[in-house]
């Protein structure tokens, strides 16, 4: 569950800490006190948009931290994301500094995508805009699909089947051309194939030729360098290196008559003389091999020009040219056997269409079965929310197009009065009804999920009186199996809180600051009285507040 929320330098908040408890946590406060800032901060912590426009002081960092307690089940689930848990706690931190957001989990930097995946396992935030999503019919079918893991898996198969079908359809469309266009394309392909094959390219040939061309085109420079080297290092001139070393060796050899210890010197110089002799022969061979004529240069240049022309048309290397050649031959084969190719693709298209519709029909049946059970459960939950005569169901319409989501169009239909025909939810529900329908849906779905913490942002919009009390009862029921945090304006809901908080806006000097207090029993009585009576808090209003808390178990009668 969420243990603590820490906010720094956001909107009207300098720095704020909120410690949450198990069960139902209710936050109240005057309009404009900053309730939306707190919910928005939680959204940021879960991976929502975080930019400098949200900062109170643009020169300081902004930060949101969410501290969670994690049980063994969640620890195992988080291990799949390579998140290690220390002492049963996990800290998610997002800091905005220098225009950049730093995302951390347990003091380790993580990507935003990973932070979102991890946070989804810990907390589910249901904001006001989700109620409006009920006014979009396509969202209704998503709720059914997300309710069943079997539907999710089958939906993936249907999507892949659609992808395969569209791939064949696109291929057929590419091949669809009249006889004249096909003949023109075939002629051009044959020309390109002949253009490449007639060159008789060899892998690596371009590199070999470039090396030969470089040498041939610089033959004069090579001749001058090697000739001068031969003159300096050879044996043909008296003062050349080879001749001088040979002469020195001859002189040194006479030293052995006078000193037997000179043999080492003689051996070293003999090795040098031998190396010089080998080098002289190698140089002579190199000079002989470097004899290029103009014909070789012209032939090499012509061949290189041909290869470079082919590269400019078909690829940056001989290997790429060969790859293009294979593709051209394959297309040539398809066009040459056009009728057979099209017939094969048409057969394949029919098979894939049949496979798609078989899977889509299976998905549709499962959806209808799941929707029937889900709507029955939601109806029961709605009756607990003061929809006494409600009927709630989903109607389906078949669409014949092959689409990734299947063949179904579906939307919720509702009747809230006896004798009233069922009509689409999007056309009849008021704001208050939408909030209760969403709460009913969330209460049902929450029973099938493992998310330990739920947050409701003003689920009480458009309701009052006994309906509000029913909503409070439902929220307390949900909070018996998981932590629930909610903002409300209604005393009937606030009275059900296990822990209550008041959000306040204060003027401190020249600054307006949002703060929050956890309420003790007397504080809860006063806050409920404010919600009941506004600024005129009489003894009667206080008594009503105390009686409401006693009735809902929020106040110990012995206090």
Q: How confident is the model at residue 431 (pLDDT cuts 50, 70, 90)?
A: low
Give the angle 215-221-224 at the CA atoms, nearest 5°: 125
pLDDT tens per residue across span 447-482:
777 788 988 887 777 778 888 888 888 889 888 888
pLDDT digits (tens, 9 = 90+) for 406-416: 999 999 998 88
DSSP character string of 181-195: HHHHHHHHHHHHHHH
- What are 26's strand-pairing partners? 486, 500
Tell me the per-residue pLDDT of 349-364, one tens digit each, with 9 for 90 and over: 999 999 999 999 999 9
- Which three-class secondary structure state does DSSP give residue 87? coil
Write the CB contacts of 295 (distance below 8 Å, at least 6 apart in sequence): none
Instruction: Please state, in angstroms and as integers, the Cα–Cα distance from residue 466 to each residue in 179, 309, 387, 509, following that order.
Output: 77, 85, 11, 43
Residues 6+ apart with CB under 8 A from 123: 2, 42, 46, 66, 68, 451, 452, 453, 454, 455
- The Cα-based distances of 231 to 279, 285, 414 in angstroms read 13, 15, 107
Residue 131 predicted with pLDDT over 70: no
Q: What is the pLDDT of residue 556?
A: 47
Query: Model confidence over 503-546: pLDDT tens digits?
Result: 988 877 778 888 899 999 999 999 999 988 877 788 888 898 89
Q: What is the pLDDT of residues 251-278, one digit of tens each?
A: 778 777 777 777 888 888 888 888 888 8
pLDDT over 70 for what percent of the chain? 94
What confidence score (pLDDT) does residue 264 get?
81
3-state SS record for 213-279: HHHHHCHHHHHHHHHHHHHHHCCCCCCCHHHHHHHHHHHHHHHHHCCHHHHHHHHHHHHHHHHHHHH
What share of residues in the chain are helix, strand, coil (percent, to 5)?
60, 20, 25
Cβ neighbour number for residue 43 with a 10 Å cutoff: 17
Task: Find the mean pLDDT for residues 53-64.
Answer: 89
User: Does residue 26 carry a pLDDT above 90?
Assistant: yes
| Centroid of chain to Cα 432 | 36
133: DSSP letter: G
Write the pLDDT tens digit of every residue in 141-165.
988 988 888 999 999 999 999 999 9
* The pLDDT of residue 212 is above 90: no
| Residue 92 phi, psi (nearest 5) | -100, 130
The Cα 21–Cα 2 span in angstroms is 8
CA distances from 495 to 29, 367, 488, 525, 547 (A): 14, 39, 11, 9, 10
Pairing of strands 453-457, 483-487: parallel
Tokens at residue 323, please? 């790859």
Instruction: Inform me whether the pLDDT recorded for 559 exceeds 50.
Output: no
Phi-psi sector, 411: left (phi>0), alpha (psi -120 to 50), beta: beta
Distance CA 191, CA 255 (A): 80
Which residue, among 22, 23, 77, 20, has the nearest Cα to 45 in the 3D structure? 20
> Does position 221 have pLDDT exceeding 50, yes or no?
yes
pLDDT interval class at 128 (50, 70, 90): low
Task: Indicate whether 104 pLDDT > 90.
Answer: yes
Q: What is the pLDDT at residue 177?
A: 65
Q: What percent of the chain has pLDDT over 90?
A: 32
To the nearest whole number, what is the mean pLDDT of the chain? 85
Strand order in the sheet with 423-424: 391-398, 408-415, 423-424
What whole-number distance in Å separates Cα of residue 184 and Cα of residue 220? 51
Residue 215 has pLDDT above 60, yes or no: yes
Q: Is the pLDDT of residue 558 over 60?
A: no
pLDDT recorded at residue 130: 64
Q: DSSP readout, 506-541?
A: EEETTEEEEEEEE--HHHHHHHHHHHHHTT---HHH
547 alpha carbon, distance to own chain's centre: 52
Q: Decide: 18 and 516 in contact? Cβ < 8 Å.
A: yes
- Whether the full predicted model's pTM is greater than 0.85, yes or no, is no
CB 495 within 8 A of CB 528: yes
Q: What is the pLDDT of residue 557?
A: 40
How many angstroms separate the CA atoms of 245 and 232, rounded? 12
41, 32 Cβ separation under 8 angstroms: no
Summarize the confidence of residues 333-347 as an average pLDDT: 84
What are the tokens at 161?
């089947």
- pLDDT for 271-329, tens place per residue? 888 888 888 888 777 777 776 667 777 888 888 899 899 989 998 889 999 999 999 99
3-state secondary structure of 378: helix
- Report the candidate in 76, 71, 41, 70 with the shortest Cα–Cα distance to residue 55: 41
421: left (phi over 0), alpha (psi -120 to 50) or beta: beta
Residue of 550, 508, 503, 504 lying closest to 525 (CA atoms)? 550
pLDDT at 109: 92
Pairing status of strand 499-508 against strand 24-29: parallel
**pLDDT (tens digit per residue) in 379-407:** 988 888 888 888 999 999 999 899 999 99
Name the residue with higher pLDDT: 446 or 412.
Answer: 412
Q: Which residue in 270, 275, 273, 277 sits closest to 256, CA to CA? A: 270
Q: Which residues pair with 25 in a beta bridge?
A: 485, 499
Q: Please tell me which residue, 189 or 137, carries the higher pLDDT value.
A: 189
Comparing CA positions, the residue from 533, 559, 171 lying closest to residue 338 is 171
In whole angstroms, give the CA distance from residue 236 to residue 234. 6
Number of Cα atoms under 13 Å in the Cβ half of residue 25: 23
What pLDDT, on the 0 to 100 scale, is given for residue 191?
Answer: 93
The CA distance from 247 to 238, in Å, is 9
Half-sphere exposure of 288 (CA within 13 A, CB side): 6
What secondary structure letter does DSSP report for 455? E
Q: How does strand 391-398 pair with strand 483-487? A: unpaired
Provide mean pLDDT across the span 236-246.
78
């Amino acid at each position: 569950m969420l243990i603590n929320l820490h906010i720094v330098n956001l909107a009207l908040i300098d720095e704020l800490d909120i410690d949450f408890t198990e069960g139902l946590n209710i936050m109240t406060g005057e309009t404009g006190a900053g309730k939306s800032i707190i919910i928005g901060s939680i959204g940021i912590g879960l991976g929502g948009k975080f930019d400098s426009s949200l900062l109170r002081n643009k020169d300081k960092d902004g930060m949101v931290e969410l501290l969670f307690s994690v049980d063994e089940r969640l620890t195992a689930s988080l291990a799949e994301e390579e998140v290690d848990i220390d002492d049963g706690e996990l800290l998610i931190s997002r800091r905005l500094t220098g225009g950049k957001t730093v995302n951390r989990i347990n003091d380790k930097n993580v990507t935003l995508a990973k932070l979102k995946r991890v946070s989804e396992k810990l907390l589910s935030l249901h904001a006001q805009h989700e109620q409006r999503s009920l006014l979009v019919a396509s969202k209704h079918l998503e709720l059914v699909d997300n309710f069943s893991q079997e539907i999710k898996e089958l939906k993936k198969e249907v999507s892949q089947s659609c992808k395969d079908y569209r791939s064949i359809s696109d291929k057929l469309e590419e091949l669809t051309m009249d006889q004249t266009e096909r003949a023109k394309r075939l002629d051009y392909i044959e020309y390109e194939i002949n253009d490449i094959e007639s060159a008789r390219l060899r892998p690596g040939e371009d590199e070999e030729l470039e090396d030969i061309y470089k040498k041939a085109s610089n033959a004069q420079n090579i001749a001058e360098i090697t000739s001068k080297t031969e003159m300096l290092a050879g044996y043909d001139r008296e003062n050349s290196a080879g001749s001088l070393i040979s002469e020195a060796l001859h002189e040194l050899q006479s030293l052995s008559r006078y000193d037997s210890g000179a043999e080492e010197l003689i051996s070293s110089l003999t090795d040098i003389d031998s190396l010089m002799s080998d080098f002289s022969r190698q140089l002579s061979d190199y000079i002989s091999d470097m004899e290029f004529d103009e014909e070789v240069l012209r032939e090499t240049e012509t061949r290189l020009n041909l290869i470079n022309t082919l590269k400019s048309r078909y690829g940056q290397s001989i290997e790429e040219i060969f790859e293009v050649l294979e593709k051209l031959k394959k297309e040539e084969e398809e066009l040459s056997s056009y009728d057979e190719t099209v017939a094969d693709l048409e057969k394949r298209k029919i098979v894939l269409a049949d496979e798609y519709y078989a899977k889509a029909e299976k998905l549709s049946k499962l959806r209808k079965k799941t929707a029937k059970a889900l709507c029955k459960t939601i109806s029961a939950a709605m009756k607990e929310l003061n929809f006494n005569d409600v009927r709630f169901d989903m109607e389906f319409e078949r669409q014949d197009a092959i689409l990734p989501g299947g063949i179904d169009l579906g939307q919720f239909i509702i009747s809230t009065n006896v004798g009233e025909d069922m009509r689409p939810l999007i056309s009849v529900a008021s704001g208050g009804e939408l909030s209760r329908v969403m709460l009913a849906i969330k209460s049902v779905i929450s029973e099938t999920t493992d998310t330990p913490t739920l947050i409701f942002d003003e689920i009480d919009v458009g309701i009052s009186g006994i309906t509000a009390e029913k909503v409070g009862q439902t929220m307390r029921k949900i909070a018996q199996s998981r932590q629930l945090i909610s903002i409300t304006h209604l005393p009937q809901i606030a009275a059900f809180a296990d822990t209550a908080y008041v959000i306040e806006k204060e003027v401190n000097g020249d600054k307006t600051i949002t703060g929050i207090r956890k309420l003790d029993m007397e504080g809860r009585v006063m806050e409920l009285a404010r919600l009941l009576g506004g600024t005129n808090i009489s003894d009667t209003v206080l008594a009503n507040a105390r009686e409401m808390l006693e009735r809902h178990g929020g106040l110990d009668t012995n206090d």
